[in-house]
Amino acid sequence: MRALTWHGTHDVRVETVDDPEIINSRDAIIEITSTAICGSDLHLYDGAIPGVQPGDVLGHEFMGRVVETGKDSTLEKGQRVVVPFTISCGGCFHCKIQQYSACQNSNPAEKQDMSATLYGHPMAGLFGYSHLTGGYSGGQAEYVRVPFSDFGPIVVPDHLDDDQVLFLSDILPTGWMAAENAEIQPDDTVAVWGCGPVGLFAIQSAILMGASKVIAIDHYPNRLALAKQMGAEIIDFRKTSVREALMEMSGGIGVDAVIDAVGMEAHGFAIDNMIDIVKQKVGIGADRASVLKQALLAVRPGGRVSIPGVYGGMTDKFPTGALMEKGLQIRTGQTHVQRYTKDLLKKIEEGTVDTTFMISHRLPLEDAARGYKCFREEQDSWTKVVLKPGMKD
Amino acid sequence: MRNDRDLGLAGTVAGVGLALGGLAFGAFLTQRRKGGGDDAPFYTRKSPDSDDAVLGRTVTIRKPRAELYEFWHDFGNLPRFMENVETIRSEGDHRVWTIKAPGGRTVDVRTEVSEDTQNRRIAWRSVEGSDIETSGSVEFEDAPGQRGTRVSLVMSYDPPAGEVGRAIAKLFMREPEVQARHDLKRFKMLMETGEVATSARTKDQTRKAKQQENG
Ligand SMILES: NC(=O)c1ccc[n+]([C@@H]2O[C@H](COP(=O)([O-])OP(=O)(O)OC[C@H]3O[C@@H](n4cnc5c(N)ncnc54)[C@H](O)[C@@H]3O)[C@@H](O)[C@H]2O)c1
Ligand SMILES: [Zn+2]
Ligand SMILES: [Zn+2]
């Protein structure tokens, strides 16, 4: 089959690799119809996540048709499914309490040591996201092997097209969980850093949850315009002093909740960020956490901090004083996708959430490498790229 | 210390040493050692008070105690999650473990069950005259609430005496621990999900992965 493979920093290629096979009895093979490039993929593309190996097939946002099933899969050939990026068994301690992204049984035993050493506990398996999370082949390909197919994938009705439901695989639940983690109350003013797909869905979710004001921060005019279109007030961090503006826009109280939808590769020329950029270039494991630091200072005392943005290593000059002295709460994590897919599918069917507004480009899979390059270098106009293996160019 | 002599020795003892690593599971704790004055398991102490290499691990598995005990009690099941063990067959009162060794060879180790308390504990040890002296035990204990069962595996082996033995110990001390940890996780996977997780894309890759882990 054809698949997008990683070969090094800023080097991804569409190549021919072996087709996936059913290995375990709960597996299914899916023929991909649509798959997206995520901001998380850019961390791999930029070489900021350890444990990626040359030849690894990337992609964790995908959907398609079931073409083969193991004997214990509950899926049927021909069904159309969206697959959560988190691989979860459904039966372990964490799955039973709906902490699906902490599943204890999806990351192969021999792959767990690396993340256990880094984080104190192993990570769960994720599709196409380095060997820290299992080294599973991802979905930017014609076919993919899906373990625990009786538990994760959600069957979608034919009257909804791919573009409407594809994002149930990651960014829609991620934006939703980001807002949920911010514990939004009706009178809240909420600040969201980053107007990429995750930030945009977080904005939409925060508004649906009843926030009285959402303030979106970025520097790309087109992305800020999308945030405005979703109902947010906007701040361009290149032109405006963010902390001062947030204080004023929240009536001098400070924002009640902050959402960091940027993560470890923040842009900008703040001095701490420049130092962190250098560290990230010379070694593994240094996170550029300038957005998180800003957010901790901007949030009001007793406020809530939600971090959907991905971090993978360590950071220094972390404002522990602001955290403690202001009595803040922090919630974060890889999204527990399976917890949200059903409800969000309903919201899509009812028309309560809009999922297609951010798609800027649809490309054949063969053009995936160009998709990565442009999504990274022309972020303003390339807001979300969907790859279609069947598409003729 | 890593002089030429050590390296020469390494070659000659590699087979035995790796077999030891593979045998991590076929090992058994013959005697309880004194605790360190706190409530933590003895094998987590910073300076073990024994010359034996002792390893211990606990996992919580969401299954009833009896079911896990039953599965383990049938030693023939163990190779399903112990990657280095090819087969375990019964010969009278003994179990013969066939363990993968480098270069496609295998090593047999003969063990006997030294304790069997239903739904609680199974212990085994190598019989007299075995090339490798090892012992192991697995314990099943109810976890709080609905969490299932705590499964603890402890094993030890006497590093063979003399210079050769010390070289083996030095070279392979870590390996059994890693192997034990992985095997116990696979046991949990098999019990909770019915299968052992693999990220291989093709069947070929799974075999390769196994060989790799066997070194
Ligand atoms: N928690 C999860 O499960 C999960 C899932 C998906 C994505 N993510 C993470 O969420 C983050 C966003 O993903 P995305 O797909 O929207 O990525 P993206 O790269 O498309 O968007 C990031 C946005 O942040 C903006 N930004 C950069 N520096 C900024 C700064 N200093 N202040 C304000 N804005 C800034 C960029 O201009 C860009 O628009 C990434 O870190 C991604 O890895 C997490
Ligand atoms: Zn994603
Ligand atoms: Zn699980």
Over residues A151-206, the pLDDT tens digits come to: 999 999 999 999 999 999 999 999 999 999 999 999 999 999 999 999 999 999 99
Q: Quote the percentage of chain B above a pLDDT of 70.
A: 63
- Is it the case that residue B111 has pLDDT exceeding 60? yes
Alpha-carbon gap, residue B143 to A306, rounded angstroms: 33
Task: Identify whether A139 is part of a domain.
Answer: yes
Residue B129: which pLDDT band, with cuts at 50, 70 and 90? confident
The reply to whether A116 and A210 lie within a common domain is no
Q: Which structural domains are found in chain B, ordered by start?
A: 9-213 (3.30.530.20)
* CA dist A272 → A287, A288, A289, A320, B32 (Å): 11, 8, 9, 15, 54
Q: What's the pLDDT score for residue B11?
A: 35
Same domain, A276 and A318: yes
- pLDDT exceeds cutoff 70 at A246: yes
Higher pLDDT, A102 or B29: A102
For residue A262, give its domain range.
Answer: 176-332
CB A27 within 8 A of CB A73: yes
pLDDT of residue A11: 98
**Ligand 2 centroid, distance to A374 Cα (angstroms):** 17
CA dihedral A224, A227, A231, A235 (to 10 degrees): -40
Chain A positions in Cβ-Cβ contact with residue B146 (cut-off 8 Å): 96
Based on the fold, state whether residues A302 and A184 are members of the same structural domain: yes
Q: Is A239 on the interface with B (CB under 8 A)?
A: no
Residue type, A161: D
CATH code, A42: 3.90.180.10
Confidence of residue A284 (pLDDT cuts 50, 70, 90): low
At A330, list the tokens. 């922090």
Residue B185 CA to residue A108 CA, distance in Å, equals 9
Tell me the pLDDT tens digit for each residue of A374-383: 999 999 999 9
Residues A229 and A361 in one domain: no
Answer yes or no: do A343 and A373 share one domain. yes
Per-residue pLDDT band for B57 (boundaries 50, 70, 90) equals confident
Check: complex ipTM more than 0.95: no
* pTM for the structure as a whole: 0.89
Region of poorest pLDDT, from A105-109, A357-361, B103-107, B133-137: B103-107
What pLDDT sits at residue B21? 39
For residue A125, list chain B residues with Cβ-Cβ distance below 8 A: 197, 199
Q: What is the DSSP letter of A57?
A: B
A327 & A342 share domain? no
A255 Cβ closer than 6 Å to some ligand 1 atom? no
Contacts with B82 from chain A: Cβ below 8 Å: none
Same domain, A313 and A340: no
Q: Closest-CA residue in chain B for A25? A: B195
* A393 lies in some domain: no
Identify which of A151, A148, A153, A169 has the alpha carbon closest to the alpha carbon of residue A27. A148
Average pLDDT value for chain A: 95
Residue A261 and residue A379 share a domain: no
B148 conformational bin, left if phi > 0, alpha if psi -120 to 50, beta if neither: left
> Of A292, A309, A332, which marks where a domain is finished?
A332
Task: Report in angstroms the alpha-carbon separations of B166 from A67, B19, B182.
Answer: 55, 16, 25
Q: Are residues A191 and A132 in the same domain?
A: no
pLDDT 10s digits, A50-91: 899 999 999 999 999 999 999 999 999 999 999 999 999 999
In this prediction, residues B123-151 reach a mean pLDDT of 89
Which residue of B181, B188, B201 is in closest CB contact with A18?
A: B201
How many separate domains does chain A show? Answer: 2
Helices (H), B47-97: 65-73
Q: Which of A311, A332, A353 is the last residue of a domain?
A: A332
Do residues A185 and A202 both lie within one domain? yes
Q: Are residues A375 and A246 part of one domain?
A: no
Q: Is residue A152 part of a domain?
A: yes
Taking CB atoms within 8 Å and a gap of at least 24, the contacts of A313-319 are: A313/A50, A313/A118, A313/A264, A313/A284, A313/A285, A313/A286, A313/A287, A314/A285, A314/A286, A314/A287, A315/A276, A315/A286, A315/A287, A315/A288, A315/A289, A317/A272, A317/A293, A318/A289, A318/A292, A318/A293, A319/A293
Domain termination site, one of A316, A332, A348: A332
As a whole number, mean pLDDT of residues B15-30 equals 37
Inside any domain, residue A21? yes
| Phi and psi at residue A66, to the nearest 5° | -75, 125
* Residue A122: closest C-alpha in chain B: B185
Q: What angle do CA A242, A248, A253 make, to 5 degrees?
A: 105
Cβ-defined contact of B203 to A135 (cutoff 8 Å): no
| CATH number for the domain that contains residue A287 | 3.40.50.720
Same domain, A279 and A215: yes
Query: Which of B16-30 are b and which e, b meaning 16 or more Cβ less than 10 Å from the residue's Cβ?
Result: bbbbbbbbbbbbbbe
**Residues B61-104: tens digit of each pLDDT:** 999 999 999 999 999 999 999 887 889 999 999 999 887 766 67
List Cα–Cα distances, B61 to A244, B72, B149, in angstroms.
Answer: 52, 13, 5
- Partnered with residue A301 across adjacent β-strands are none
In a domain, A319, yes or no: yes
